[in-house]
Amino acid sequence: MTDKMWGGEPFWGLGYDWDPDWVYTDKQKELRATLIELCEKELRANAKRFDDELMFPRRNLELLGEHGFLALTVPEGYGGLGENHVAYSMVCETIARYGCASTAMCYVMHMGAVNAIMLRATPELIDKYIRPLNSGKIGTLSYSDPETGSHFWYPISSGAERSNGGFKVRKKASWTTSGGFADFYVVQTTSPDFSGYDDLSVFVVDGEHIQAQPSLWDALGLRGNQSGPIEIDNIEIPAEQLVGPTGDGANSNDESVDPWFLVGSASVWNGLALGAIDIAKRHTTRKKHVDVGLRVADYPTIQDYVGEAVMDTNASRLFTLSVAQAMDGATENNTVNPGPGELARGNFLHWAWQIKFEAAKNTAHVVDKMLHACGGSGYKRDMELERYLRDAKAGWVMGPTNEVLRQFVGKAVLLGFDSLDYWNQSYNRRAVENEVKKLDAAGKRELAEQLFKEADEQASKEPAAKG
Ligand SMILES: Cc1cc2nc3c(=O)[nH]c(=O)nc-3n(C[C@H](O)[C@H](O)[C@H](O)COP(=O)(O)OP(=O)(O)OC[C@H]3O[C@@H](n4cnc5c(N)ncnc54)[C@H](O)[C@@H]3O)c2cc1C
């Protein structure tokens, strides 16, 4: 096995022996070597500046573009590297581990936007958004809504209507990575012929139409990622910038946005855990206690910390890579996309929920343990560990949050997938009847009168029944 290099020297963290190289192709290993080199030369040094100065990681993203990574999963015929889900996982992990987590998260959102377009690619969308990618064009996903928090699939403050042969789109987003900096925004709104919150459509909107206030962004970690609020204020866009048919939003989420986001973000959290372990190895093998003649790494307690962190993180990595492989299998190595209403990657969505949960949980724990292993020195900013710690804490709270994910999985296992009821459509008779039982006769009457009144109002708005 070749040595992992860091510039002209052997890498000071974990070597290739601890990377699951049997899952990567030779081309993917070459891409990884290129990325590690870019991280050593520039991305990692920039990460400190982006974090200190709350700066958008444009320079790092440009560098990724120069080497083809901004079009990683785009077919070669359209100027991309023609890579698959495993490569995507490796790239997200590698940027976060050796380089810059803010860059890695902007990259995840960028690739999310690119892949949402590629799911329903048209010649117009390809010419305008896909072919120019390697010139440094950045996209992002804008889904989260101020009214519904982390329930990003429920865009209340948004809408679209048909106008002049195209669409008029409005959107308020509480968080958008690269907000105000990206060149194009893939957004989800309710459909032009809105029939309920499961009737969603996807549009791509150019950066010039976005109102953003990057100065409002200030956060514990991922400080370069500039995930501030944005607004699209009834902007006219041409019909070609509808991505897929109207009403395709839910299917686009299940087949593209969620699978790519969950694989990419899980890989970023795995990368941050590995990066923290790398730093702990560097520090604990170099720091000596002269009184006992031992290095910090010689204490069994520290060896236990590192051993457990490596095993837990590699379990999470291999879990992520295995789900990425399943998606590769379902899409003939990311060369085939299913049509509207059909699923390929989406059949593994309940697995993708699990990998994000595990990776975010693991990284939050591992960064704490690596801080404990490094002691007070790790608490100081110069060792970089504290940046990894702050960046890693975003994993748990980013939507779908880990609270939501564990409930999705537990509820789906116990009560079936239909019970998830994303758009608040199914009536929980059991809960209602239990609450009604608590009312006395007067309370029941009052409720009944209220319900009759509401039913009359509703019936007057519904189309008259035929026959
Ligand atoms: C660094 C960063 C970057 C981001 N980038 C983007 C982006 O590019 N695009 C985008 O669209 N969004 C983005 N987001 C937003 C993200 O996806 C979430 O929408 C956001 O973190 C939710 O924050 P909130 O305060 O609204 O949480 P809330 O939804 O208010 O959650 C508060 C608490 O309630 C819990 N909770 C919520 N619902 C349930 C439930 N049903 N059951 C149990 N508990 C529940 C949550 O888990 C959490 O503990 C980003 C967030 C961060 C932190």
Domain with residue 200: its CATH number is 2.40.110.10
pLDDT at 1: 65
> Does the beta carbon of 176 sit less than 6 angstroms from any atom of ligand 1?
yes
> Does the beta carbon of 115 sit less than 6 angstroms from any atom of ligand 1?
no
The residue from 221, 249, 277 where one domain ends is 249
CB count within 10 Å of CB 141 equals 28
How far is 85 from 334, CA to CA, in rounded Å? Answer: 7
Q: If you search the block for the tokens 């002049």, which residue do you land on?
A: 164
Residue 66 lies in a domain: no
For residue 149, the CA-to-ligand 1 centroid distance in Å is: 5
Q: If you search the block for the tokens 């048919």, which residue do you land on?
A: 245
For residue 153, the CA-to-ligand 1 centroid distance in Å is: 11
How many domains does the chain contain in total? Answer: 2
- Determine the residue of 181, 187, 401 to mutate for testing ligand 1's pocket, defined as the one with the most ligand atoms within 8 A of the Cβ atom: 401
How far is 329 from 226, CA to CA, in rounded Å? Answer: 35
Nearest CA to ligand 1 atom 14: 175
What string of pLDDT tens digits covers the 467 residues of the chain?
678 999 999 999 999 999 999 999 999 999 999 999 999 999 999 999 999 999 999 999 999 999 999 999 999 999 999 999 999 999 999 999 999 999 999 999 999 999 999 999 999 999 999 999 988 899 999 988 888 877 878 888 889 999 999 999 999 998 899 999 999 999 999 999 887 778 999 999 999 999 998 888 999 999 999 999 999 999 999 999 999 999 999 999 999 999 999 999 999 999 999 999 999 999 999 999 999 999 999 999 999 999 999 999 999 999 999 999 999 999 999 999 999 999 999 999 999 999 999 999 999 999 999 999 999 999 999 999 999 999 999 999 998 999 999 999 999 999 999 999 888 788 889 999 999 999 999 999 999 999 999 999 999 887 665 44
Taking only Cα atoms into account, the Rg of the chain, rounded to an integer number of angstroms, comes to 24
> Does the beta carbon of 338 sit less than 6 angstroms from any atom of ligand 1?
no
Nearest CA to ligand 1 atom 38: 404
pLDDT at 218: 94
- Determine the residue of 143, 175, 403 to mutate for testing ligand 1's pocket, defined as the one with the most ligand atoms within 8 A of the Cβ atom: 175
> Does the beta carbon of 158 sit less than 6 angstroms from any atom of ligand 1?
no
How far is 71 from 78, CA to CA, in rounded Å? Answer: 9
The residue from 201, 226, 249 where one domain ends is 249
> Does the beta carbon of 261 sit less than 6 angstroms from any atom of ligand 1?
no
Residue 242 lies in a domain: yes
Nearest CA to ligand 1 atom 25: 149
Residue 325 lies in a domain: no
> Does the beta carbon of 222 sit less than 6 angstroms from any atom of ligand 1?
yes
To the question of pTM greater than 0.75 for the whole model, the response is: yes
Per DSSP, which regions of 103-157 are E strands?
139-142
Residue 216 lies in a domain: yes
The residue from 196, 226, 249 where one domain ends is 249
For residue 267, the CA-to-ligand 1 centroid distance in Å is: 19
Specify the ligand 1 atom closest to the Cα of 148. 29
> Does the beta carbon of 179 sit less than 6 angstroms from any atom of ligand 1?
no
- Determine the residue of 105, 397, 406, 407 to mutate for testing ligand 1's pocket, defined as the one with the most ligand atoms within 8 A of the Cβ atom: 397
Q: Nearest-CA neighbor of 117 among 71, 63, 65? A: 71
> Does the beta carbon of 398 sit less than 6 angstroms from any atom of ligand 1?
yes
Per DSSP, which regions of 177-293 are E strands?
184-190, 200-206, 211-212, 228-237, 288-289
> Does the beta carbon of 149 sit less than 6 angstroms from any atom of ligand 1?
yes
- The burial class, CB within 10 Å (0-12 / 13-18 / 19+), for 324 is buried
Domain range enclosing 445: 429-455
Residue 368 lies in a domain: no
Residue 241 lies in a domain: yes
For residue 147, the CA-to-ligand 1 centroid distance in Å is: 11
> Does the beta carbon of 394 sit less than 6 angstroms from any atom of ligand 1?
yes
For residue 394, the CA-to-ligand 1 centroid distance in Å is: 10
How far is 14 from 270, CA to CA, in rounded Å? Answer: 14
For residue 198, the CA-to-ligand 1 centroid distance in Å is: 20
- The CA-atom distances, in angstroms, between 386 and each of 91, 369, 389, 407 are 23, 12, 5, 30
> Does the beta carbon of 322 sit less than 6 angstroms from any atom of ligand 1?
no
